[in-house]
Amino acid sequence: MCGCKRANVCEMDVTVTGARDQEDRSQEDQEKVTPSVRRWYEPFARAAKVQDISLAQLQKLEVRAVMLDLDDTLLPTGGSSITSDVVTWVRQLQAAGISVLLLSNGTPERVQRCAAQLHINSMALAGKPFAVAFWRGLQRLNCPAKHTVMIGDQLFTDVIGANLMNIKSILVCPLSDGLWHTKYLRYLETWVLEKRILEGQRDSFIHRR
């Protein structure tokens, strides 16, 4: 069970909450930004931590590239060493031919140091949630949005930014409370997620709607 403030929405291993089923959408819909506000903030899926997202699940979604947030997604804010299980998870993706990019708003020195531990490329001071950050990420990965996933812990940076670019977003539980401004956003994120759960927007990751 996840022990974060989102515990009541993060107990499951991986859960779909998004209203859209991108697999069933037409090519035209995949290539344009939806005007629906609700679709901006709904993650395609949720997981307690990145390691709970299996290679098989990503392959089922035809994922070829993964964008990863850093702070509170891979390690707590202020942390410096990425755990061995996260390193192993990233290597499994790479071994399967999935490209991985560290896409973070953090400082270059910190982001590059953590990327070196994972042996992956990185983009610091990315500017999430602005679309240009994700567009640059797609260019760096050389992969179209429909075959890319963004994994992060923040609804208002990782999820919204990815959704605006029609990139599948997976929201994970934060590993710490984060910086001072992040703490306030956590309360709003929790309210939004709890509201969606109460409305019954919850399905399994594999057997999506």
pTM of the model: 0.74
Q: What is the pLDDT of residue 10?
A: 41
Q: What is the pLDDT of residue 19?
A: 41
Q: What is the pLDDT of residue 55?
A: 96
Average pLDDT across each block of 10 residues of the chain; the chain has 209 residues. List them in order.
Answer: 46 46 48 51 89 95 97 88 95 97 95 96 95 96 97 91 94 75 61 52 38
Give me the CATH code for the 34-199 domain, please: 3.40.50.1000
Tell me the DSSP string of 158-204. Answer: IIHHHHHTT-EEEEE--SS--SHHHHHHHHHHHHHHHHHHHTT--EE
Report CA dihedral (11, 14, 16, 17) to the nearest 10 degrees. 30
Q: What is the pLDDT of residue 80?
A: 83
Q: What is the pLDDT of residue 78?
A: 81
Q: Where are the domains of the chain?
A: 34-199
| Lookup result for tokens 């993706």 | 93
Q: What is the pLDDT of residue 199?
A: 45
